[in-house]
Chain A
Amino acid sequence: GQQLNQSPQSMFIQEGEDVSMNCTSSSIFNTWLWYKQDPGEGPVLLIALYKAGELTSNGRLTAQFGITRKDSFLNISASIPSDVGIYFCAGRNAGGTSYGKLTFGQGTILTVHP
């Protein structure tokens, strides 16, 4: 089946540092989404990307939709303790019978030390 490779698997950083994580796919996606999940909670949408090459910011978060449509990255600037959590990328296929189905990456566990 489809694979989304998300890296790194985990990150341990100091408060104030910048963070970068990315996802690559074997297939083309027409949408890339980035979610954050706290333990025992549902994923919360951070950024949605709908066009190849699109660069979108949400506060300290910036994400880009790769021009090949097979990759995306998420940057977090000036990290703070509440950034702790698991970050997931998710992609949605371009048409066919996939409709709205999302394929998720394995997640990046972020730990921020004060």
Chain B
Amino acid sequence: DSGVTQTPKHLITATGQRVTLRCSPRSGDLSVYWYQQSLDQGLQFLIQYYNGEERAKGNILERFSAQQFPDLHSELNLSSLELGDSALYFCASSVTGTSGPDTQYFGPGTRLTVL
């Protein structure tokens, strides 16, 4: 158990819908990262938050957004869902979120299926 929790474990929805994925980081970690894992693209970085502020952006679609709340949990919002958005979405957390020695621990993931 990494200490990072994600809910829900599975999510099945229809095209055009909007969903929210939730992540709670490890105790003491200030930085949260979101990754998408699909068969054809592998593990791709989406976005990073540090202590409530956006820190870095990766290949995140405009239909996707995220935020980190004062209690440090984070939510990833996916809207106008398309079939191609079906994937595993992982949250990871680390202490500082800097480029120095700082290790990311991953949650169990949310499997999103868009029908």
A residues with CB within 8 A of B:
1, 30-31, 33, 35, 40-45, 48, 50, 88, 90, 92-107
From B48, B56, B101, A50 is in contact (CB under 8 Å) with: B101
CB pair B108 A42 closer than 8 Å: yes
By a CB distance below 8 angstroms, the chain B residues around A50 are 101
Number of B residues near A (Cβ < 8 Å) is: 35
Q: Could you pull out 25 A-B pairs where Cβ atoms are within 8 angstroms?
A: A30-B100, A31-B99, A31-B102, A35-B106, A42-B106, A42-B109, A44-B2, A45-B106, A48-B101, A48-B103, A94-B99, A96-B99, A97-B56, A99-B48, A99-B99, A100-B94, A100-B97, A100-B98, A101-B48, A102-B33, A102-B45, A102-B92, A103-B45, A104-B43, A105-B42
Find the B residue at minimum CB distance from A96: B99
B residues with CB within 8 A of A:
2, 4, 6, 31, 33, 35, 42-45, 48, 50, 55-56, 58-59, 88, 90, 92, 94, 96-109, 111
CB pair B99 A93 closer than 8 Å: yes
Q: Which 5 pairs, one residue from A and one from B, show the smallest C-beta to C-beta distance?
A: A42-B106, A104-B43, A100-B97, A50-B101, A99-B56
